[in-house]
Amino acid sequence: MNLVTQLPRHPSRRDILNDNGSLEIVSPIRLLKIEASPRGSKSNSIALTDAFVTAYRDAVPSVTVDVMNVWDERLPEFDNAAIDAKYKGVAGSAMNEAETAVWDRIQALVARFKRADRIVLGVPMWNFAYPYKLKQLIDLVSQRNMLFTFDGERFGPLLQTPRAMVIYTRGQEYREDLPTPPSRFDHQSSYVEFWLHFIGVQDVRALAVENTWGDKAEASMRAAREKVAALAKDFLTMPVKHSTNSPLTLRESETI
Ligand SMILES: Cc1cc2nc3c(=O)[nH]c(=O)nc-3n(C[C@H](O)[C@H](O)[C@H](O)COP(=O)(O)O)c2cc1C
């Protein structure tokens, strides 16, 4: 049974969808840049999302960027109070002080997603998946009636952000003909992209940059910087691709 309802076909209210499917931006665009690495200026994924934003800003000088680094945000624990707040939030019951505090923080984080016209997300591979702090953010903001609906049987998306770009960085290389085939070893991209579609992002583009560790790192990062600059220009106006059947199969991705 497919529990995910069809995604809405309309673009966000700040975009106009032309007859040929291309997006026309009608007002300053708000980019939510999510960083999942704690490595600051040493981080490959942050360097690449920075390069993406710089190229994007060349094309759209009026863009505003909200940077959300999951390590710097001091995200609340998803603990007993958070879980009680979650259940009370859905039920509309009164919360105590601790629950109210975490619920307010959750709502503030969700608001940053709701404001975003575009999302850019940098994700390092950690143990073939992604850093746990990113999962903490996902657990915090994935709230019923905020980012998705659930009627007891079907889930539906609530975010109207039409497009996201995900840049993955990986120390090693993943190919089916190597000892690390992605079919077994890649637990990074499938969940991140599933989740973005699940909350409502219709068009998720992805670039996986491999060999970011060791001898090949410099060449790999050089090629990646060029690639992200080109992708950033396309990201603005390229037609949004709508999936006709399963929203979960929609994926435009490349690996370097
Ligand atoms: C805790 C940890 C686990 C890692 N696990 C993997 C892994 O499973 N596979 C891989 O290819 N690289 C792995 N790496 C390497 C990183 O994915 C790689 O260095 C990446 O470029 C880091 O991104 P960043 O510089 O933005 O933090 C790991 C690095 C760390 C710190």
pLDDT in tens, 161-199: 999 999 999 999 999 999 999 999 999 999 999 999 999
Which residue did the predictor score with more confidence, 19 or 87? Answer: 87
Share of the chain above pLDDT 70, in %: 82
Q: What pLDDT does residue 144 have? A: 93
* Sheet of strand 252-255: strand arrangement: 64-69, 30-35, 118-124, 163-169, 203-209, 252-255
Mutational pocket test of ligand 1: of 125, 128, 192, the residue with most ligand atoms within 8 Å of the beta carbon: 125
Alpha-carbon distance of 102 to 57, in angstroms, equals 34
Mean pLDDT of 130-136: 98
* Nearest atom within ligand 1 for CA of residue 127: 8
Which residue did the predictor score with more confidence, 167 or 241? Answer: 167
pTM over 0.85: yes
Mutational pocket test of ligand 1: of 127, 166, 228, the residue with most ligand atoms within 8 Å of the beta carbon: 127
CA of 210 to the centre of ligand 1 (A): 10
Q: What pLDDT does residue 187 have? A: 97
Structural domain spans, the chain? 30-254
CA of 125 to the centre of ligand 1 (A): 5
Alpha-carbon distance of 124 to 138, in angstroms, equals 16
30-254: CATH class: alpha beta
Q: What are φ and ψ of residue 118, in 5° steps?
A: -140, 150
Please list every protein residue whose CB sits less than 6 Å from any atom of ligand 1: 37, 39, 43-46, 124-128, 169-172, 212-213
DSSP, collapsed to helix, strand or coil, labels residue 202 as coil
Mean pLDDT of 91-120: 95
